[in-house]
Homo-oligomer: A and B are copies of this chain.
Amino acid sequence: MKETITVNLKEDIGVLNKPIMVVGLPGVGHIGKFAADYLAEYLEAEPIIDIISPHFPPQVLINEDSTISIMKNMICVAKTEKNDIVFLIGDNQSTSPQGHYELCDIYSDIAINLGVERIYTLGGYPIPMLSEPQVIGVATTTDIFEKLKEAGVEIRPSEPSGGIAGTSGLLLAFAQHKGIEAACLMGTTTGYIVDIKCSKVVLNVLGKIIGIDIPEDALNEKIEEMEKIAEQFKREPPEEFESQMEDDLAYFG
């Protein structure tokens, strides 16, 4: 296996209704991943394509029932009143710079094949100090900025000044190259934790843009849960926490 493969899970997907793509993969503060996963779950999105790549980390994940799952990204589809939503979600960014190009080329081809009209990539925007999360936006064209601003997105000239790395940035470049309108919505975060509060703000903005009312109850529950875990870590001796961290990152031959 030397190339990325895509596995179709449905024989016939049919024609989608004005499809919009929402992309959330791991990254700074896991803002994008958490937001997209949450929305896909809420809308009961159905997996239609598995993406497996030698550019993903060479490991397996362990499920709650102790079975394993291959590292993969997924295309899932949910139907809403106004549009079909195509999700690109999963566990992985590329482990190599070149892999990002191969994968974003594939992601954008899938978007074209499904007739996607607009792509929203979700991500984190790292800031040095904790503050009320804001959503910063960039896009392949200025046409979309009015709509983003109405939903509360800030458009800051030339920001982020260092560009946007990874899928949420590079996919916009491929979308632009292939003629699909695309925007990246970034929630400001310190990035030290899975920042669900920030994901909630990004989701709220995205909901306004694509016309979906996303209930906040379940979100608030998750935020409370997260805060409890954070509290617990504070009380526990740091050694315990660190060794736990080491476990998580360790290489098990």
Q: Using CB atoms and an 8 Å cutoff, list the residues of chain A in contact with chain B.
A: 1-2, 25-28, 30-33, 52-71, 93-102, 104-105, 123-128, 137-142, 145, 155-170, 172-174, 176-177, 184, 186, 191, 239, 243, 246-253
Contacts and interface: CB of A to CB of B under 8 A. Distances in A.
B159 A66 contact: yes
6 contacts: A27-B251, A53-B101, A59-B166, A60-B173, A62-B160, A160-B252
Given A56-B97, A68-B139, A168-B253, 18 more contacts: A1-B102, A31-B253, A55-B98, A58-B169, A58-B170, A59-B166, A60-B163, A62-B163, A65-B157, A66-B137, A66-B139, A66-B158, A67-B138, A70-B174, A71-B173, A93-B253, A124-B253, A166-B253
B167 A27 contact: no
B98 A68 contact: no
Top 4 closest pairs, chain A to chain B, by CB: A27-B253, A58-B100, A54-B101, A162-B248
Contacts of A68: 138-140, 164, 169, 172-173, 176, 184
B59 A164 contact: yes
Nearest to A144: B67
A25 B251 CA distance: 13
Contact of A95 (B53, B97, B104, B138): B97
A140 B102 CA distance: 29
Contacts of A167: 253
Contacts of A174: 70
Contacts of A168: 252-253
A105 B2 CA distance: 9
A98 B2 contact: yes
B62 A159 contact: yes
Contacts of A2: 98, 101-102
B101 A58 contact: yes
A186 to B, nearest CB: 6
B94 A157 contact: no
Given A54-B98, A62-B160, A177 B247 contact: no
